[in-house]
Chains A and B, each alone.
Chain A
Amino acid sequence: MLLDLSEEHKEHLAFLPQVDSSGQETRQRRVVFCGLGKEAEGARVSHDVLASVAVVAEFGRIAVEFLRRGSNPKIYDGAARKLNVSRDTVQHGVEGLTYLLTESSKLMISELDFQDSIFVLGFSEELNKLLLQLYLDNRKEIRTILSELAPDFPSYHSLEWRLDVQLASRSLRQQIKPSVTIKLHLNQNGDRNTQVLQTDPATLLHLVQQLEQALEEMKTNHCRRVVRNIK
């Protein structure tokens, strides 16, 4: 499966390989260069490409850190100053990388599909390799973070009930119509969701009976065996 990158997304990412060629002073470039560490030594590639790769590696690190701990806007300002570009450019670059990583991780796309997907961005081979490595190194952790972020299925929180008897209505006087009103509290994505429902006595007894069967089923040998043996 290939990733579908929007035009806006491609624009944001397009910043990445251009970082080195945006008229920086030599000194600044060296600072970035040294930040990459020992892997850069001995590499027989041009300084330009290496600087770009170094910057992207740094952005990648920032992106993963943001996924772990939430975004920190001050980092954008620092990086923007160092690279002599606008804060927005930095922000878009990091966000573009973040989105690239989360989408790829969510869909668990293969190496080949990832490479084909970013091919459209027209980056250098080194940059593509870096992005792929960034993806492979971090996707497991990103998937864990994503799964914690979106529990979509509502879950039971609690239940309130009330017994009502309808005595009359517009259509019929002198009634005795018992009903049970239930307020069901559910949790969804951290929010509380409330449903107000009603039922009649016969259905209530039926509900209790059915759900007790579910509880009974948990006590059977079959269920006990499964729960015991699969951790």
Chain B
Amino acid sequence: MELSEYVQKGFQMLADPGSFDSNAFTLLLRAAFQSLLDAQADEAVLDHPDLKHIDPLVLKHCHAAVATYILEAAKQRADKSTLSTYLEDSKFDRERTELFCTEYQNNKDSLEILLGSIGRSLPHITDVSWRLEYQIKNTDPRSHPEISFSCNMEQLQDLVGKLKDASKSLERATQL
């Protein structure tokens, strides 16, 4: 994992007990995860009284650095040893390294879901509704916003048959 000087600098500042005491460190760490995972989070996430004594520029720098690192680690599926190595290289002590790894582990799944949801895909079917209609006479066609189409019994059986083939194939694939 290649990280920029900006990120490295941020981590070095975060490692320093003189700049960040234990409490401040924990708060900043949690704020970073919150910014990424909580859809409602905003800049106020850094507005904690116990962070007020720290230079806002430093706060923002470290917050951005941690957030960047977390995303990159999650994207690359970094394991604990990769994380530990990087943190130790940034002069994190034992306690801070452990804390970081624990927080990361707790939030890993959510991060992966978030990252996995980014991207383009084809229109995704979410549900189906159906209606049985016995056509006695022709009615005026109406336009529907979603995809609608009509089919007779044989066609519906064909459609269901094909979808069942697909799901059986899916089942077999999961057993490989």
Which A residues lie at the B interface, using CB under 8 A? 147, 150-156, 158-161, 163, 169-175, 177-182, 184, 186, 195-201, 203-208, 210-215, 217-218, 223, 226-227, 230
CB pair B150–A156 under 8 Å, yes or no, is: yes
Task: Please give the distance in Å from A148's CB to the nearest CB on chain B.
Answer: 10
Establish whether residues A197 and B125, one from each chain, have CB atoms under 8 Å apart when the complex forms. Answer: yes
Q: Shortest CB–CB separation between residue A193 and chain B, in angstroms?
A: 9
Q: Which residues of the partner chain B approach A218 to less than 8 Å between Cβ atoms?
A: 132, 153
Q: Please determine whether B115 and A172 come into contact, CB atoms closer than 8 angstroms.
A: yes
Output the residue of A175, A178, A214 with the most chain B CB within 10 A: A214
Q: A147-B138, A156-B159, A172-B112 given as contacts; is B147 within 8 A of A195 (CB)?
A: yes
Residue numbers of B with Cβ under 8 A of A are 74-77, 112, 115-116, 118-119, 121-130, 132, 134, 136, 138, 141, 147-151, 153, 155-160, 162-167, 169-170, 173
State which of A153, A161, A207 has its C-beta within 8 Å of the C-beta of B128: A207
Residues of B within 8 A of A152 (CB): 141
Is A208's CB under 8 angstroms from B127's CB?
Answer: no
* Alpha-carbon distance A218/B130, docked complex (angstroms): 12
**The residue from A160, A170, A214, A223 contacting B119, defined by CB atoms under 8 A apart:** A170
A172 to B73, CA, bound (A): 10
By beta carbon, the residue of chain B nearest A161 is B166
User: Which chain B residues border A207 with CB–CB below 8 Å?
Assistant: 125, 128, 163
Nearest residue, chain B, Cβ from A175: B116
Q: Find chain B residues with CB under 8 A from A179 CB.
A: 121
A209 smallest CB distance to B (angstroms): 10
**Distance in Å from the Cβ of A212 to the closest Cβ of chain B?**
6
User: Is there an interface contact between B151 and A156, defined as CB atoms closer than 8 Å?
Assistant: yes
Q: Are B128 and A211 in contact (CB under 8 A)?
A: yes
Q: How far is the CA of A156 from the CA of B150 in the complex (A)?
A: 6
Considering the chains assembled together, what is the distance between the CA atoms of A19 and B132 in angstroms? 55
* B75-A172 in contact (CB<8A): yes
Are A230 and B167 CB-contacts (below 8 A) given A155-B150, A156-B159, A195-B147? no
